[in-house]
Structures are given as structure tokens and as C-alpha cells.
Amino acid sequence: MVQPIARVAPGSIVHRFLDGSQMTVLGQNDQEMWDAFVADTPNGHLLQCWAWGELKRTLGWEPLRIALWDADSGRLLAGAQALLRPIPLTGSLFAYIPKGPALDWSDAACCELFLAGLHAYLRTRRVAVLRVEPDLPEKIGENGEADPASPSQTPADPAARFGGLYSAAQGQEVARRLNNLGFRRTPDHIQQLRTIAVDLAADEQTIASRQKAKWRYNTNLAARKGITVRQAQSLDDLQHWYDLVEITRARDRFASRTLSYYQRAWKSLKAGNQAELFLAEHAGTLLAGIFVSRVGRQGIYLYGASSDQNRQLMPNHLLQWEAMRWAKAQGATLYDLWGIANSDDPGDPLAGVTQFKRGWGGKVIQYIGAFDYVYAPLAYRIFLGGARLLASLTAFRAYLLRRRGS
């Protein structure tokens, strides 16, 4: 069970249970408490942090932080940051919980109590459907092995989890539990279904020894050739990095955010010690940069960009290695390289990205995916129709971009 965070009753109470626990909607004054709770929760994730919700507010979402609070001890027991958005033509809302809820999945009773209160409240907000994408794996490793643990260990034991966090057995159990609780699995996942993660629990020498020889060579080459890595200190640093984002976007033909988006992300996440922008330079010239977060025991590589110049100096290899070392020093036991292709097809647009990430000695993580809980069936059908139309238009746009690039 996660060690709850003590505090006087937060936010406003919206539901009371017979055992004395309460559902409460958190307010602005509860940000510090909420972030501490997320960081201390097993599988607590960046996408459940307060600043991430505020970042999504600028893109049209309404962040809602709702938690199960124990009145007797004055502690949070479970919670979720849900992002709300209107479903056109229905007067209803779509609620989305990315990489959450934030709770101890091994405590089934607490999970069910929290979800019951969450359903009750979301119905009062005219939510038609709730979508959750827990940060839980269904498979770990190239061959999808159940767990890296010994038979004597249980998924609740941190030593039985990859990177101290991930247990495929637990993910599979939670998927079954969600199904039994009325959720339905949907193929319309929003987050990447697969990623590669590196176990940071060992010492640096062991972590490096798991990398492909060419990756270790390239990292050492970058250092020998004079590449230096530092953390961004100002918005001017971020502006120079964004210039590389535009170069990378044109070269690799991918969609990118606006400068203002990255500025808000860097300022808010850095203020909470939740992210850093690492810059690789050679003789005073910026060659590459990566945006990396760290929440709880998880480091995440979020965004990257590089120049067209001096790519033979391998700045990206040294950047990733230094980011892993930083995440480990900050207490992370796992480093998520944040998404790979959904298949091993060499023709996949992300095949090159996948190949680069495979070299770091991590394991392929396939998540349990997305689950929907439907409150209003008619509005849900309208929502699905609109979402699939948008997906078709997005795929067609990507096809046109590839044709134009070729």
C-alpha cells in the first residue's frame, strides 16, 4: 500500500462513503500535496502531475483532480487527474485519465472504492465516457515474458518488478479486474502502446554493459570529440533548442508543438524539479537537445531535436547517457524512452526510432492499453464516430506528408 500523504482536508468534498472516507475535488492550493502523492504512488507518472494538467489546459482540456481522502487519518489514499473535453453535438463530456489513476493497484478494495466514487462524481458532471490508460505493462521483453522475477516473488514485491516498477503479471491482473468492473478494452489508445525502458536499478557500469557495443562506442566517441552536455538555464537556451526542433521536423517530417507550448512545459516542470532540458554542444555550437522528466522513480525521455551539422560526432548518444545518469541520481530506477513502433515492421515510419532505442539495453514494454467506462451509450457512439473520423483524416495527412517527402 502506498504511504499516503497527510494533510488537512483538501479541496471540496463531493461524495461520502459509509466507512468515513470521502471523495474530494482538489483546488489550486493542493498542488504541492497532489504532486507529492503522485510521486510516492507506485507507477506514479508525469502525466498525472499537476503541471501536466495545466499544460493540457492550454490545449483545450479541463484538468480535474479528484481523490479518495481518509477523514480519520487526514490522508489521501487514491486519486486521478482526469482531463475533460466536450463531445460535440451531445452536451456531454469525455473524461480521460492518462497513465493513471494514481493508486496502489495491489489494494483491490481501495481501487474499487475509489472507482465507485469517481463514477458517481463524473455522472454529475455529464461525462458520457471515462477512458483510462494505466501505466501498467501487459508484456515485458522481446518475447513478452511474464516477468523478470523468480517464482518465489510476487508482483507486489518491488524486487520482482522490472526497474522496480513494472510487473506484467500485475498488469494482466488489473486488465482482468477492470473488465470485471464494467470497463471495456478499446483499440483507440491515446498513448503509445509500446515503449522501451531501461532498468536503472543497477550501477552505471552494469547499465552500460547492457547496451549494444556500438552505442557504448558512440557515447565514448562523442565525449572524446569534445561534445559537452549541460542543462538549459534560460528561455534563450530553450529558443535555441526549438530552432533545432524546426530543423528536425523538416528533416524527419513529424508534427511538433509550438514554441510557447515548450516554454510553458519547461517553466512549469522545471519549477517543480520534474524535468530538465539537456543540451549537447561542440565548440560553443548547439548540436542537439532532449527534454527529460523525472517523477518518483521514473525518468522519461519526452522530446528530442538535433542539427543537420556534425551528426557524425554522435551528440544524441551522449545526451541519452547523461540523461539516464541524471535520472538515476535523482532517484529513478527506470528510464522510459517514450514510445516505439507498434510493430516490428521495418517499413513502419517509426522503425528508425525503434532501432535507436533498442540499442540502450532496455526491454520492450507493451502496456495493457486503454479501457472505456460508458455512462451515456448514445453520446459514446457519437464520440467514437467522431474520433475515428479524426483518426482517418490524421492518417491521410500523414500519408500525404510521406508522399511529399519521397
Q: Indicate the pTM of the whole model.
A: 0.90
Q: Specify burial of residue 128 (Cβ count, 10 A radius: 0-12, 13-18, 19+).
A: buried
β-pair type (92-98, 127-133): parallel
CA–CA distance, 202 with 195 (Å, rounded to integer):
20
Helix residue ranges, H only, 143-212: 168-180, 204-209
- pLDDT of 143 reads 52
- pLDDT of 8 reads 54
Q: Please enumerate in sequence order all residues whose Cβ is within 8 A of that of 282, keeping only pairs 6 or more positions apart, or say none.
A: 225, 226, 227, 228, 310, 313, 315
- pLDDT of 12 reads 82
- pLDDT of 104 reads 95
- pLDDT of 148 reads 45
- pLDDT of 146 reads 44
- pLDDT of 147 reads 46
- pLDDT of 402 reads 63
Type of residue found at 131: R
- pLDDT of 150 reads 41
- pLDDT of 154 reads 53
- pLDDT of 74 reads 82
Residues of the chain with pLDDT under 50: 1, 5-7, 144-153, 406
Q: Please enumerate in sequence order all residues whose Cβ is within 8 A of that of 314, keeping only pairs 6 or more positions apart, or say none.
A: 218, 219, 221, 222, 225, 227
Q: What is the total residue count of the chain?
A: 406
